[in-house]
Amino acid sequence: MASGSDSGRGMWSNRWVFVLAAAGSAVGLGNIWKFPYIAGENGGGAFVLIYLVCVGIVGIPIMICEVMLGRTARSSPIHAMRKLADKAGVSRHWAFIGWMGVVAGFLILSYYAVIAGWALNYVLLTAQGTFTAISAEGAALAYNDFLASPIQLMFWHALFMVLTIWIVGRGVSRGLESAIRWFMPLLFVLLVVLLGYSFTSAGFEQGLAFMFDTRFEAVSGETWLVALGQAFFTLSLGMGAMMAYGSYLPENISIGKTVVIIALLDTFVAVAAGVVIFPIVFANGLEAGQGPGLMFITIPLAFGHLPMGALFGTIFFMLVSFAAITSAISLTEPALSYLVEEYNAKRKRVAISLGVMCWILGLGTVFSFNIWSTGYIVGQMTVFDFVDYLSQNIMLPLGGMLIAVFAVWVLPQTAVGEQLGIKSGFLSVLWKLLGGVVAPVCVLVIFVYTVLPLFSNLA
């Protein structure tokens, strides 16, 4: 992919390689696992609509900002922010954005690898025919049994981490690029097959109604915060991943158009996952708001009742695992490229150290599903809930807001205009309005209404 075996200045060979890499980062557990279960917990339709609005008016402008900052500076996020702050003649404290990103990436990866480990285990379970003709209760039981075992979770968590670190340590190689070329389209095909299944399931109308009928009674400030956090999470925004990827983007490629393509691909996968999962939920009398287990119960159930389900189910979970790896890579990239640049360290060694630390931190999430399941650290939150909430709902939006403010109001706009190919006055106004006002103000308003009261409740 970008740069061979170091994080030095390589370049994507063309626009589609960048689209694949960025889409590889964006499409992951956030789309297939997280989006449906969060939508389920937040009442469905109205949440989905708010989420789409967040992607459109906050996510896309901020992704443009991030990619643009990366391409302008051509270095890892922390260094990029330092360079750009110098260029703009402002304090180097703006590098705080980069630092917070490194921490956020680390926190996210710590639990991301745990859940991705579940997907790896489900490759094996499905291949063994565990789910053939299984009942809804049986599928739920298999899931609960698995989660009750910290040893099993630790094993799969470790396996996923080793795979990720192995790839990252070797340098994000050509091998991965060609793999993405095959796997991403295959994932789309299997999603379409599953769409066909859910279309014929008895719960289809009810599932669709759940996803698209907007019942605003259920919406609160918290709904907005969760939808906003999800928009950041699913587009890999707010922590410098897209900045790092943007730093390898050739000059002549239109950032705006490319970002819109990535956002559309990502949104398609998330919505398709929801349309697949909810009909199965209703046809089997399952609970829409059951939380993180949603995908791991409904999908095996669906494949369990399809011809050659064990085969296709196995492929499906392989694809999910692969989508998770291409996302996990981007979670390590800001920290890794910084350490390599700053200390001239060996990429492999840095990768292994990061992986070990992250695995240890991930134990908090592993135990949240069994021995610490009632060990709340804040309010009713387990370690997993807390790490997830802090990174996704607080750090990513905060990072994204600062990135947008910096890109529009701090950085000299002549350079920005050139980067983005803004030629008309209209585009320039649109850029200032969306990137400089709408996106940051939305984040700020949602923060003031939901996060601040939360802290005063805790105090």
d(CA 327, CA 340): 20
Note whether 161 binds ligand TRP by CB under 6 A: no
Note whether 239 binds ligand TRP by CB under 6 A: yes
Question: Taking the complex as a whole, how short is the minimal distance between the CB of residue 225 and ligand TRP, in angstroms?
Answer: 16
Q: Between residues 283 and 325, which has the closer beta carbon with respect to ligand TRP? A: 325
Contacts of 190 (CB under 8 A, 6+ apart): 312, 315, 316, 319
Note whether 332 binds ligand TRP by CB under 6 A: no
Question: Taking the complex as a whole, how short is the minimal distance between the CB of residue 282 and ligand TRP, in angstroms?
Answer: 25
Q: What residues from 105 to 144 belong to the interface with ligand TRP (CB under 6 A)?
A: 108
Note whether 321 binds ligand TRP by CB under 6 A: no
Q: Which of 7, 42, 330, 337 binds ligand TRP (CB under 6 A)?
A: 330
Question: Taking the complex as a whole, how short is the minimal distance between the CB of residue 88 and ligand TRP, in angstroms?
Answer: 25
d(CA 196, CA 249): 37
Note whether 233 binds ligand TRP by CB under 6 A: yes
Residue nearest to ligand TRP (CB): 30
Question: Taking the complex as a whole, how short is the minimal distance between the CB of residue 228 and ligand TRP, in angstroms?
Answer: 13
d(CA 163, CA 326): 11
Q: Between residues 17 and 244, which has the closer beta carbon with respect to ligand TRP? A: 244
Question: Taking the complex as a whole, how short is the minimal distance between the CB of residue 426 and ligand TRP, in angstroms?
Answer: 31
Q: Which of 331, 351, 366, 408 binds ligand TRP (CB under 6 A)?
A: 331
Q: What residues from 3 to 42 belong to the interface with ligand TRP (CB under 6 A)?
A: 25-26, 28-31
Note whether 337 binds ligand TRP by CB under 6 A: no
Note whether 236 binds ligand TRP by CB under 6 A: yes
Using CB under 6 A, list all residues that contact ligand TRP: 25-26, 28-31, 108, 233-234, 236, 239, 241, 327, 330-331, 396
